[in-house]
Amino acid sequence: MANFVRRLRLPQLLLFCALAVLLLFAVMRTPHYLRRLYPYHHRQLIELYAFQYGVDPLLVVAVMQAESNFRADAVSWKGALGLMQVMPETAQWIARRQGLAELKREEILDPEMNIRLGTWYLAYLLEQFAGRVDVVIAAYNAGPGQVSAWLADQTWSGRYADRHKIPFAETRQFLVKVRKAYTKYQKLYR
Tell me how many domains the chain contains: 2
Q: Are residues 28 and 63 in the same domain?
A: no
Q: Are residues 56 and 26 in the same domain?
A: no
Containing structural domain, residue 86: 42-189
Answer yes or no: 67 catalytic.
yes
Q: Are residues 10 and 55 in the same domain?
A: no
Q: Which residues of the chain have pLDDT under 70?
A: 1-8, 10-34
Q: Where are the alpha helices (DSSP H) in 8-157?
A: 10-28, 31-37, 43-53, 57-68, 88-97, 105-109, 111-128, 133-142, 144-152
pTM to 2 decimals? 0.85
Please identify which of the residues 67, 102, 106, 107 carries the catalytic annotation.
Answer: 67
Q: Are residues 83 and 55 in the same domain?
A: yes
The CA–CA distances, whole Å, from 62 to 29, 41, 91, 173 equal: 19, 11, 20, 14
Q: What is the DSSP letter of 101?
A: P
Note the pLDDT tens digit of each residue in 150-171: 999 999 999 999 999 999 999 9
Q: What is the pLDDT of residue 16?
A: 57
